[in-house]
Amino acid sequence: MESIHEKNAKVFKAFCDEKRLAILELLRGGEKCACVLIDQMEIGQSSLSYHMKILCESGVVESRQDGKWTHYKLSESGSKYASELLIRLT
């Protein structure tokens, strides 16, 4: 069972990389296919997969499979949790 501190650490890890912050900014515009993120971020598929794994594990991003491509979007509940976590720390 994951502790609350482990869960919170995953949220902060999601926000502590400039590429992940750029991905989150792109996802603010709505759901995006991995192929679109690869093109817009100008990164390779393996690099995108690494960052998306961290973002999805944090709960801030959700994914769904459509054929061979994965689509990503911001998670409403995960984003709310992250916002409330930051507020509680102040």
- pLDDT for res 90: 82
- pLDDT for res 58: 97
| 60-86 b/e (C-beta count within 10 Å ≥ 16 → b) | bbbeeeeeeebbbebbeebbebbeeee
Residue 89 pLDDT exceeds 90: no
pTM: 0.93
- pLDDT for res 68: 93
Sequence-ordered strand ranges (E) for 1-90: 32-33, 61-66, 69-74
Tell me the per-residue pLDDT of 28-83, one tens digit each, with 9 for 90 and over.
999 999 999 999 999 999 999 999 999 999 999 999 999 999 999 999 999 999 99
